[in-house]
Structure 1
Amino acid sequence: MSNQLSTRLIAGVPVPNTPLITKALSLAEKQMDPIGYRHVVRSWIIGNLIISRLPPTQRSAIDLEAFSIAAILHDLGWSHNPELRSHDKCFEVDGANAARTFLLREADGKEWDKHRIQLVWDSIALHTYALVAAHKEPEVSLINLGISVELLGAEFGKQSAGQALVQVSQEELDGISREFPRTGLKGHIKELMCGFCRDKPDVTYWSWVGGFGERYVEGYSSEGKIAVDLLMGGVKE
């Protein structure tokens, strides 16, 4: 793995440019709704912007191609394609599995060993779990951070991860959003999460997604199904 990758400018930000990244972008655009596709592209660009402001020693240790693949494919579990979207796994795992399948099919096996593929899998599977991702490899934690900043803004990122790590401005994020508009994002996320709660509720009870079911989906209830109920009702003494 080398960090000496060619780059191109997107929304004024230099981003890695490799044939595999181009294929990942094509896959995401094909499999996702336009709103979701624009979200993953913004996440990728913002993540690279954050990385570009890191000290050189930190920046040079990051696998930028693996980071880019994970950022671009992190929400393949939002796809409506039944080949990507399971009936019994959370969307994060569906996305991670789809990314692994993509890499096994498209990547050079000499450059992508099982550990590098696992890095992408972990980055996607944990992208909504900041308390875990923060203690994994930098690619994993930066995927979570870049997505969080994309969704919630620069100030949220600075408060949660520190200004030393998040040296980007809201003005820069707004410029990226002008190139890849955010219109409809909040409603799209709500629709998707409520759909998961209706279609495969068993994988939502223990996750943050279940909150959408409790608030918005008629008949949805996690009562008796979450950890406190199972432990207090089932642990033997």
Structure 2
Amino acid sequence: MSPTSEVIAGIKIPDSPMAKAATGLVRDTETDLLYHHSRRVFLFGALTGERKGLKYDPELLYVGAMFHDMGLMDSYASETERFEVDGANAARTFLKSYDVSERDLDDVWDSIALHTTPGIPQHKRPTVALVTAGVEMDVLGLAYDDFTSEQRHEICNCHPRGLKFKHGILSAFCYGTIKKPETTFGNVKADVLARMDPTYKRVDFAELIMGSKWDS
């Protein structure tokens, strides 16, 4: 480990040229709230991997964590794709500039595209599983007590949540989806718009079935 390496809660922050470039790009693109959230996602994800004895690639986990909310930003948002897919596509484009295998590209893509799809990521390879684990810990507090108070304190001291993170992250989710509400169908961001956008009308899956062109 380099004497200049940054270590938080026992986890070394990747400092390869690729990781540094990812940090710089995300820092220049995202809000402070999302940047610090993304770094915490990496740290909580890495600690989860250590606790569970998973063999994971810290750089791939780092890129997945750092890019997982990039699709919320106007500069990376498409008109019709889910924000998770926009972020996944941004990460894939970024990684293609480096010597990354197709399997690793796919893992990072999946880690971002699936991070709001409960019940699936934990059955995938470590990069995918651990990005979601980090997100679920930081946003929902899942497995909160599996981390020590010292770990939580050190991570949040280095990357503050602030006094209104819960409201801030909901606002970020709303901002990133309110222009394309149809992309929230079947995923958790529908709950965000239902709470924050008084004009939002949730699509009902059962109504779609009953209203299809089939006779029966």
**What TM-score comes out, normalization by structure 1 length?**
0.81
Deviation of the 1:42 alpha carbon: 1.0
Q: Distance in 1 between matches of 2:48 and 2:186?
A: 31
Offset of residue 93 of structure 1: 0.5
| Equivalent residue, structure 2, for 1:27 | 25
Structure 1: segments with no counterpart, 5+ residues: 159-165
Matched, 1:230 2:196: no
Aligned pair partner of 2:72 in 78, 90, 105: 78
5+ residue gaps, structure 2, are none
Q: Distance in 2 between matches of 1:142 and 1:198?
A: 28
**Alpha-carbon distance, 1:97 to partner:** 0.4
Distance 1:36 1:135 in 2: 26
Distance in 1, Cα, partners of 2:21 & 2:80: 28
Which among 170, 184, 189 is matched to residue 209 of structure 1? 189
String of CA shifts for 1:22-58, please: whole Å, max 9, x gaps.
1111111111001110000111122222223333xx3
Partner of 1:174: 153
Contact conserved, 2:117 with 2:187, CA < 8 A, in 1? no
Shift of 1:197: 4.4
Distance 2:108 2:40 in 1: 18
Alignment of 1:40-189 (within 5 A): 40-55=38-53, 58-59=54-55, 62-81=56-75, 84-105=76-97, 107-108=98-99, 112-153=100-141, 156-157=142-143, 167-183=146-162, 184-189=164-169
| SS of aligned partner of 1:181 | coil
Distance change (3 Å), C-alpha of 1:211 and 1:167: closer
Task: Work out the CA distance in 2 between the residues paired with 1:210 and 1:28.
Answer: 26
Measured in 2, the distance between the counterparts of 1:201 and 1:31 equals 23
Q: Deviations over 1:57-88 (max 9, x none)?
A: x33xx22221121111111112221xx11111
Distance 1:220 1:44, change over 3 A: same
RMSD between aligned alpha carbons? 2.1
1:13, CA displacement in angstroms? 2.8
Determine the C-alpha separation between the residues in 1 that align with 2:84 and 2:181. Answer: 15
Aligned length: 212
**Given the superposition, is the C-alpha separation of residues 10 and 152 from structure 1 closer, same or farther in structure 2, using an over 3 Å criterion?**
farther
1:9 corresponds, among 6, 15, 21, to 6
Q: Residue 71 of structure 2 contacts residue 87 of structure 2 at CA under 8 Å; is this kept in 1?
A: yes
The code of the aligned residue for 1:216 comes to M
Residue identity over aligned pairs, in percent, reads 31
* SS of residue paired to 1:144: helix
- Contact residue 116 and residue 187 of structure 2 kept, 8 A: no
SS at match of 1:228: helix
Aligned-partner Cα distance in 2 for 1:175–1:231: 49
**1:75-121 Cα distance to aligned partner (Å, 9 max, x none):** 1112221xx1111111111100000011113x12xxx1212111100
The structural deviation recorded for 1:226 is: 2.9
Distance 2:138 2:176 in 1: 22
Give how far 1:131 is off.
Answer: 0.8
Cα distance in 1 between the residues matched to 2:127 and 2:79: 28
Local SS of the residue matching 1:221: coil
